[in-house]
């Protein structure tokens, strides 16, 4: 009798259509500053990490993304208002810092030191969130012209800035606080005054053309869960009082 039940069960399993026994695997487009933490929260999705503006452009052009997580409300809200993204929610916050090589050959101890002639400063391009935030901070500090005259490279995502400073290809770079942590002892952080910090809010939403809405909602639920929020904090992010 047991053998008969086993055989009947095997027949049912073989009769099921391919893919019905496994969970839907979604594709998540996310800002490069989320590279370390998102796979910790959920390792199942296919991830594509890059600058938020690049990813938003790809989604607008029909890229097969199911979920989009941006390092700035600008990209997510624009897609939402253009009918390409379901209403996004804020799930994390961040701050900008200046990083220098661990050897700190330029002896930089303050963001104001970046005004000195001859320094090699690396920033993000104006269209990516980290680049836009950098320019807001420099404007708030009143040192835009002096610092930008020292810029020798502009990167399309924050990972590129971290890599070049860690390799000593620049004297200083503006990055998110969370990106300095994985670099470890290869870089040192120089804090930026709190009063000059712009609000840096991360938003996540489901792409409207996605055929995996339920799986997308489940992913966002994991990101905003107590476990997801704990992992975000461990990675150096701060949190909104509640996901909204």
Contact 157, 52 (CB under 8 A): no
Q: Using one digit for the tens of pLDDT, what is the confidence trace for 152-185?
A: 999 999 999 999 999 999 999 999 999 988 888 9
Tell me the C-alpha to C-alpha distance, in Å, between residue 243 and each of 5, 31, 140, 151, 225. Answer: 48, 18, 28, 37, 9
Q: Using one digit for the tens of pLDDT, what is the confidence trace for 46-95?
A: 999 999 999 999 999 999 999 999 999 999 999 999 999 999 999 999 99
Give me the pLDDT at residue 201, please.
96
Q: Indicate the pTM of the whole model.
A: 0.85
The closest alpha carbon to 204, from 228, 171, 186, belongs to 228
Domains, the chain: 24-93+199-234 (3.40.190.10), 96-196 (3.40.190.10)
């Amino acid at each position: 009798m047991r053998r008969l039940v086993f055989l009947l069960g095997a027949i049912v399993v073989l009769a099921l259509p391919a893919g019905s026994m496994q969970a839907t695997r979604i594709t998540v487009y996310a800002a490069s500053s989320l590279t370390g933490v998102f796979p910790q929260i959920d390792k199942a999705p296919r991830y594509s990490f890059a600058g938020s503006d690049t990813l938003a452009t790809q989604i607008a052009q029909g890229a097969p993304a199911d979920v989009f997580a941006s390092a700035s409300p600008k990209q997510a809200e624009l897609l939402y208002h253009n009918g390409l993204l379901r209403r996004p929610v804020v799930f994390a916050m961040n701050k900008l810092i200046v990083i220098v090589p661990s050897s700190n050959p330029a002896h930089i101890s303050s963001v104001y030191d970046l005004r000195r002639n001859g320094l090699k400063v690396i920033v993000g391009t104006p269209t990516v969130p980290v680049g836009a935030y950098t320019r807001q901070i420099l404007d708030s500090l009143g040192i835009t012209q002096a610092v930008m005259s020292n810029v020798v490279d502009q990167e399309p995502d924050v990972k590129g800035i971290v890599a070049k400073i860690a390799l000593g290809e620049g004297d200083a770079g503006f990055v998110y606080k969370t990106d300095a942590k994985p670099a470890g002892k290869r870089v040192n952080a120089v804090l930026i005054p709190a009063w000059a910090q712009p609000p840096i809010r991360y938003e996540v939403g489901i792409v409207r053309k996605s055929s995996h809405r339920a799986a997308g909602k489940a992913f966002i639920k994991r990101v905003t869960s107590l476990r997801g929020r704990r992992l975000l904090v461990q990675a150096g992010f701060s949190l909104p009082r509640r996901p909204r």
